Structures are given as structure tokens and as C-alpha cells.
Amino acid sequence: MHVFWFLLLTMVVVVTAVTLAVVGGGGSAVLQDVEPERFTDPLPASRPVGRADVEALRLPMAARGYRMADVDEALSRLGAELAERDARIAELESALAGAQASAVSTGTDLFEQPGEDRPAEPGDRGAAPADRGEETGR
């Protein structure tokens, strides 16, 4: 019976000592407080976000997954970048459509380089009468 009480008392002392050591019951803290992991935005502010930037994006973990604020911040940044690109694409497409429409109405070639002379084709307005098959002597 004395052995049982001795083992029980020893076990209580050991558990108490380990608990105090882990919690830091002494004058100095054994386990130091760690700063929580915070999101540092790796997405570039000086240039548009690219595929490599999105692939390199790593969000900090929380106790139950990812930190919602960090995920929301990254997704809103990516959404803004995509909206900006979509607006730019729409602007360029409308400018191209306008240029094509004006080229069709005036008969100019959009892809002709400045200063490049193209041979006259039959039926061109600017072709010489001989090129069109008309007689020049009459």
C-alpha cells in the first residue's frame, strides 16, 4: 500500500513539474509567444499579375484552414486585375472593329506597310487605262 501512495505522489510531482516547465511557471518563459503568420502580398504592385505570380502565391494557414481576410484580399486583387484586362481587351477589340469598318468603307488595306507599293490589279481605281485593258490611243 505504501508503494501505491509513493508512485501516485511521484507521478503527481512529475506531471506538475512538466506542466510548469511547458507553461512557463518560473520567472522566464520557456515557450515564447510566436507572432501569428501574416499574409505578405507577393503579388507585384508595379506590374500586372502574371501566371507565375499566381502559381507562387502561398497563403498562410490558420487553425481551421486559411485566413479568410488574406484569401479575400488576394482574390479581390486578382479580380481587379482580370477586370482591368477584360476592359482593355474590349477597348482594343472595339478599336480594331472600328478600324476594320473604316478600312472596308474606304478600300484601304489595314496590313499594308507605309511606303509599300503594291502592284495594280485589274479593276483598281488607281490603275492605268492600259492595265485595265482599255485602249489609250482613242
3-state secondary structure of 123: coil
Reported as a pLDDT band with limits 50, 70 and 90, residue 119 is: low
Pairing of strands 65-66, 61-62: antiparallel
pLDDT digits (tens, 9 = 90+) for 31-55: 566 666 666 777 777 888 888 888 8
- Mean pLDDT for 93-116 is 79
Separation CA 27–CA 19 (nearest Å): 15
Dump the DSSP string for 20-72.
HHHHT-SSS-SSPPPPPP-----S-SSS---HHHHHH--PPEETTEE-HHHHH
